[in-house]
Amino acid sequence: MRLGVLLLAGALALPAHSIRIVQSNDDGWAELYIRTLNSALRAAGHAVVLSAPADDRSGTGSRDEPPAPRARPCAYDSCPARAGPVGSNATRPDLNWVNSFPVTAIKYGIDTFGPRLWHGAAPELAVTGPNVGVNLWLTVPFSGTVGAACFAAHDAGIPAIAFSAASTRRAAWDVSPVPDRSFVYAQLATALTNKIVASGKPYLPKDVFLNVNFPKVKGACTDASNFKWVLSRINLGIFSPPDVEWCGSKRLPTELYVSGRGGCYISVSIGDASDKTTINDGRQKVVLDKLRDMLVCLP
């Protein structure tokens, strides 16, 4: 698979209209997954501003601290030593790093970098990841990728999607050749993003974020067309009210269960951005109606 194929896939999957997207992660602005997705979203016509930590800040949850000046280069030598607390690519002002945590980074994207390029306009959607490694159930509260998405949805009022990926080998933004797993995850994340955009505003209900986990790219799961989307929940629902009725049940499968089934199943959980647990009210149906025709039931 080559970049031209990815760009063509993005062009063929154009949403109803392009929108302004702020992008972040917790693995760092120079990590390959976020850069490949950035290319795919831009190829689909969106105006994207990337604002992510200068280095790997995995597992930092919702920490938020003012960025400090750097003494060393950014990860993968992607910024020079003694650069400032924040910075941008010299030729791509839409690519930005913040020497702090994911929440801090996405705040800069929302409040500073985005409006600077969009003539004062705010982002319409936040996309974080794909995270290098899954974020399922008990790990969700500790994920910086999830933390950034929840800040966007809960604090900034911007609908958000957090993507995480099971294929965990790290790579720099400029690795060559680009491994297929990065292209596949970018195609899939762009497809769901475009689906949400095409569903119309509001793209997601208030305080909702989607927690999306991709399986490993291997075996039969090496072509984006072979993957299946499954509506799920983050945590167990033993003591919670019934879920939206779907697939003949009033209890959605947990994302951990979907992940453990094997195969090419992608879990899509409807998360509460205020506490990082499962939304368990009428907002589930709103999201189901937006995604219904792309979802499958587990066998």
| Span 233-290, pLDDT tens digits | 999 999 899 999 999 999 999 999 999 998 999 999 999 999 999 999 999 999 999 9
Q: Which two tokens stand for residue 265?
A: 């199943």
Q: At what angle do helices 3-12 and 180-198 cross, to 10 degrees?
A: 10
pTM exceeds 0.85, yes or no: yes
Cβ proximity of 19 and 197 under 8 Å: yes
Q: How far apart are CA 254 and CA 268, in angstroms?
A: 10
Position 56 pLDDT exceeds 70: yes
- CA distances (Å), origin 215, targets 8, 21, 190, 240, 260: 24, 25, 16, 27, 9
Q: How far apart are CA 228 and CA 295, in angstroms?
A: 7
pLDDT (mean) for 131-138:
98
The neighbour count for residue 122, using CB atoms within 10 Å, is 14
Position 7 pLDDT exceeds 60: no
Q: How far apart are CA 100 and CA 93, in angstroms?
A: 19
CATH 3.40.1210.10 fits 3-294, yes or no: yes
Position 2 pLDDT exceeds 80: no
Q: What share of the chain is helix, strand, coil (3-state, %, to 5)?
A: 35, 20, 45
Residue 11 pLDDT grade (very low, low, confident, very high; cuts 50, 70, 90): very low
Q: How far apart are CA 163 and CA 188, in angstroms?
A: 10
Query: What confidence tens digit (pLDDT) does each residue in 192-210 have?
Result: 999 999 999 999 999 999 9
- pLDDT at position 118: 98
